[in-house]
Amino acid sequence: MILQKIRQDAEAKLGERITEAVITVPAYFNDSQRQATVDAGKVAGLDVKRIINEPTAAALAYGIDRQQTDSKIAVFDLGGGTFDVTILDLGAGVFEVLSTNGDTYLGGDDFDEAILNWLVTEFRAETGIDLAQDRMALQRLRDAAERAKIELSSTLETEINLPFITADASGPQHLVKPLSRSRLEQLVAQLVDRTEGPCRQAITDAGVSAGSINDVILVGGMTRMPAVQAKVQQIFGKEPSRSVNPDEAVALGAAIQAGVLGGEVGDIVLLDVTPLTLGIETLGNVTTALISRNTTIPTKKTETFTTAADGQSSVDIHVLQGERPMSADNKTIGRFMLDGILPARAACRRSRSPSTSIPTAS
């Protein structure tokens, strides 16, 4: 429904039918989530030509006018539902992703929830009424929490005023609560701190130091929060760049990628990476890694395996994505049967992994 509405709005603006699209997704989306996005595009009447990562798209928007400048940049992308960080190397029209990391369970919604929970607790302490049991009141609280969060990015204090939030035997009850920026920062401190781990890991995986990164680009509405900007400066040791609009950068990057695919934009090479390790299940329900996370794509890997049982003539290949050692803890991408193996004693017959490969980011 969302993609369909976006397509309709774009058609109304351009005055022509749109049938193809480049769609961006969080960098830490797994294969199933990416495929679901492609399927949603088809339902919306779109031929999805490419799926690209949101931080990579933002880097395209940032670097399109800086192609001749060799530099390393970090894209810090904290949106409504997910967090991604990507380290890239830019130069001579080449945008090479060095590493990516993130948290698909961290975003602006979690900040709203922290404010909401505080409001519920405060109101319960004052009135004895638990608003958590009132679905309509919760929705009003959630909307008010988001508004307060946004306001406190540009002001030091705001007031949450919700008349007739509920009623009891004594009559209607109103919620009026001041909220300062400093109190908000206390409420969300743990959420802000959760961005540091993925950033440190991305820096390590890229084989660079924080000091060697020339610019840090902020993407996503949550990066307007002063506490988030302060955390970025603490991690990378420099003021983040504000040269791109955090709300528009990803869409601009997707438009640039569409221009590249359509031949309207030239001299740009985008080298992305696989965000999660790819492997297969082997004896003992163990995941054997074949393509490590942050491997530049396209790529392929061939490895030799031996049979696990006497007389074995076929192998069930279980392809997985994830960082856990046990297969049950990783995400299944697919399965297929490899047969035609000549029967022999265990470990005598060898089979090569069938050139496990990733052709493109889509």
Q: What is the dihedral of CA 115, 226, 79, 9, to 10 degrees?
A: 100
pLDDT at 351: 58
When pLDDT is cut at 50, 70 and 90, the band that residue 358 belongs to is: low
Nearest to 353 by CA among 305, 309, 296, 288: 305
Tell me which of 155 and 348 has the higher pLDDT: 155
Tell me which of 135 and 300 has the higher pLDDT: 135
When pLDDT is cut at 50, 70 and 90, the band that residue 361 belongs to is: very low
Q: What is the enclosing helix (H) or strand (E) of 76?
A: strand 71-78
Q: Answer yes or no: are the C-beta atoms of 85 and 102 closer than 8 Å.
A: yes
pLDDT at 68: 60
pLDDT digits (tens, 9 = 90+) for 267-313: 788 888 888 899 999 988 999 999 999 898 888 888 888 888 888 88
- How buried is residue 45: exposed, middle or buried, by Cβ count under 10 Å (0-12/13-18/19+)? middle
Q: What six digits make up the tokens of 315? A: 């192998």
Rounded to whole angstroms, the Cα distance separating 41 from 51 reads 11
pLDDT digits (tens, 9 = 90+) for 192-211: 999 999 999 999 999 999 99
Q: What is the mean pLDDT of the chain?
A: 91
Q: Which of 61-65, 197-201, 215-219, 229-233 has the lowest mean pLDDT?
A: 61-65
pLDDT at 129: 95
pLDDT at 360: 47
pLDDT digits (tens, 9 = 90+) for 166-197: 998 888 999 999 999 999 999 999 999 999 99
Is residue 86 scored above 80 in pLDDT? Answer: yes
Q: Kindly state the average pLDDT of the residues 80-97.
A: 91
When pLDDT is cut at 50, 70 and 90, the band that residue 352 belongs to is: low
Q: Kindly state the average pLDDT of the residues 21-37.
A: 90
pLDDT digits (tens, 9 = 90+) for 49-73: 999 999 999 999 998 877 667 899 9
Domains in the chain, CATH or no CATH each? 2-106+194-274 (3.30.420.40), 108-189 (3.90.640.10), 278-358 (2.60.34.10)
Tell me which of 344 and 210 has the higher pLDDT: 210
When pLDDT is cut at 50, 70 and 90, the band that residue 353 belongs to is: low
pLDDT at 306: 82
